[in-house]
């Protein structure tokens, strides 16, 4: 493929690019949907890719849904997708704790019911989900009863995040043998309806600061998100295309894993930012330059249907 980078993906180049890959991985928000609306043309792109014999996967840092919940959402939006094709961080964190951390016990979870469900499905028992208001006085808080079977603290998006949860996580993390994992570092969580709220990255900052420890992060741009898909489906990185809207997560992941990368402009990042990274001397910034960019993924439809 082209040695130059950050090239606009024309129709001709689309054909060439698609022929060079067997598998396409899509970020979700800002790429195939925005909030609760499909990007126009996106469902057709997915179907066409599959008709063309390509495998399609979805890779998202959002930890609020299980694989099945994502499949349901995608189905409602008109996408033809099965649960095992969607890799959110709720599922991937469970796999990470099981396979990489070799967890065999409980985890103190700051996160959603979806995360709880994915953990239980791999045989890990989570404790702590749900509201946890403070009670007692300050000197009680350092002495909250700790479950001896907890071997890790996992932090994901949690609308019930509270001082008490932060405190419990800190107490567990005072033990250096207790592992510390975060789903992702995104600072904003996009919601249905186009709004956004503070993301998991904020909660993780709080816990990392209190505990003075760094979490192992599962989500993009960590390689694990790709490895999780690749190990289950036997993917060849050189024959994979990563399509995303964020240079610092999607494109960085693609670069780190040796995938081809396509930036779509229906989301967060801009061409100007990509070009600025390209001109930069910094190796980290160089990884945030896509091979190609396109206004919307719908623009590859003509090449697919030709």
Partner 1 sequence: MAGGGGGCVTLGGAQIRDLLDSKHNVLFDCDGVIWNGETAVTGAPEVVSLLKQRGKRVFFVTNNCTRPRENYVQKFSRLGFADVAEEEIFSSAYCSAAYLRDVARLQGKVYVIGCGGVMKELRDAGVPVAEEEDAEPGASIYTCPLDPDVKAVLVGYDENFTFMKLAKACCYLRSSECLFLATDPDPWHPLRGGRVTPGSGSLTAALETASSRKATVIGKPSCFMFDCIASQFGLDPARSLMIGDRLETDVLFGSNCGLTTVLTLTGVSTLQEALAFRDSQEPQQKHCAPDYVMESVADFLQALEE
Q: Which positions touch partner 1 (CB under 8 A)?
A: 133-134, 138-139, 141-143, 158-164, 166-167, 170, 174, 187-188, 191, 193, 195, 197-199, 201-212
d(CA 243, CA 64): 21
Residue 220 annotated as binding site:
yes
Residue closer to partner 1 by CB (options 11, 191) is: 191
Closest approach of partner 1 to the CB of residue 191, in Å: 6
Nearer to partner 1, 2 or 142 (CB): 142
* Nearest CA-CA partner of 78 in 48, 35, 46: 46
Nearer to partner 1, 102 or 138 (CB): 138
Torsion angle defined by CA atoms of residues 190, 193, 195 and 196, in that order, rounded to the nearest 10 degrees: -20
132 is catalytic: no
Report how far residue 167's alpha carbon sits from residue 63's, in angstroms, rounded to the nearest whole number.
22
Rg (the chain; Cα; Å):
20
Residue 151's contacts (CB-CB under 8 Å, 6 or more residues apart) are 101, 103, 104, 105, 106, 107, 177, 178, 179
We find the least distance from the C-beta atom of residue 113 to partner 1, in angstroms, to be 15
Q: Is 29 among the catalytic positions?
A: yes
Residue 48's H or E segment, with its range, is: helix 42-51
Supply the DSSP symbol for 142. T
| Residue 158 assigned as binding residue | no
36 labeled part of a ligand binding site: no
Q: How many residues does the chain have?
A: 306
Query: Of residues 19, 22, 29, 236, which has the active-site annotation?
Result: 29
Q: Based on CB atoms, which residue is closest to partner 1, 4 or 138?
A: 138
Separation CA 214–CA 208 (nearest Å): 6
Q: Could you please report the per-residue DSSP string of 176-224?
A: TTSEEEES---SEEE-GGG-EEE-HHHHHHHHHHHHT-PPEE-STTSTH
Active-site position among 27, 132, 186, 248: 27
Instruction: Work out how close the CB of 120 gets to partner 1 at its nearest, in angstroms, rounded to a whole number.
Output: 23
Instruction: Choose between 276 and 304: whose C-beta lies nearer to partner 1.
Output: 276
- 245 marked as part of a ligand binding site: yes
Cβ neighbours of residue 138 closer than 8 Å, sequence gap 6 or more: none
**Known binding-site positions for substrate:** 220
- Active site (catalytic) residues: 27, 29
In the annotated binding site, the residues are 27, 29, 220, 245
């Amino acid at each position: 493929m082209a040695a130059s980078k950050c090239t606009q993906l024309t129709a001709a180049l689309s054909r060439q690019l698609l022929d060079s890959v067997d598998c396409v991985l899509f970020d979700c928000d800002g790429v195939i949907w925005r909030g609760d609306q499909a990007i126009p043309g996106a469902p057709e792109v997915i179907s066409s890719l599959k008709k063309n014999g390509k495998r399609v996967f979805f890779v998202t840092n959002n930890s609020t849904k299980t694989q099945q919940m994502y499949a349901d959402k995608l189905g409602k939006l008109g996408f033809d997708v099965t649960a095992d094709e969607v890799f959110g961080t709720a599922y991937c964190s469970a796999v990470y704790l099981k396979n990489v951390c070799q967890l065999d016990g409980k985890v103190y979870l700051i996160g959603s019911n979806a995360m709880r469900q994915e953990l239980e499905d791999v045989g890990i028992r989570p404790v702590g989900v749900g509201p946890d208001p403070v009670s007692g006085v300050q000197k009680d808080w350092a002495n909250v009863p700790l479950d001896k079977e907890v071997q890790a603290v996992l932090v994901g998006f949690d609308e019930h995040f509270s001082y008490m949860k932060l405190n419990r996580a800190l107490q567990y993390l005072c033990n250096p043998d207790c592992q510390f994992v975060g789903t992702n570092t995104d600072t904003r969580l996009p919601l249905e309806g186009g709004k956004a709220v503070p993301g998991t990255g904020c909660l993780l900052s709080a816990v990392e600061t209190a505990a003075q420890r760094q979490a192992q992060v599962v989500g993009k741009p960590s390689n694990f998100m790709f490895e999780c898909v690749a190990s289950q489906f036997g993917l060849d990185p050189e024959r994979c295309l990563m399509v995303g809207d964020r240079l610092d997560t999607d494109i960085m992941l693609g670069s780190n894993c040796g995938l081809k990368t396509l930036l779509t402009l229906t989301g967060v990042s801009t061409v100007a930012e990509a070009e600025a990274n390209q001109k930069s001397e910094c190796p980290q910034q160089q990884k945030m330059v896509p091979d190609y960019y396109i206004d919307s993924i719908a623009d590859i439809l003509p090449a697919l249907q030709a």
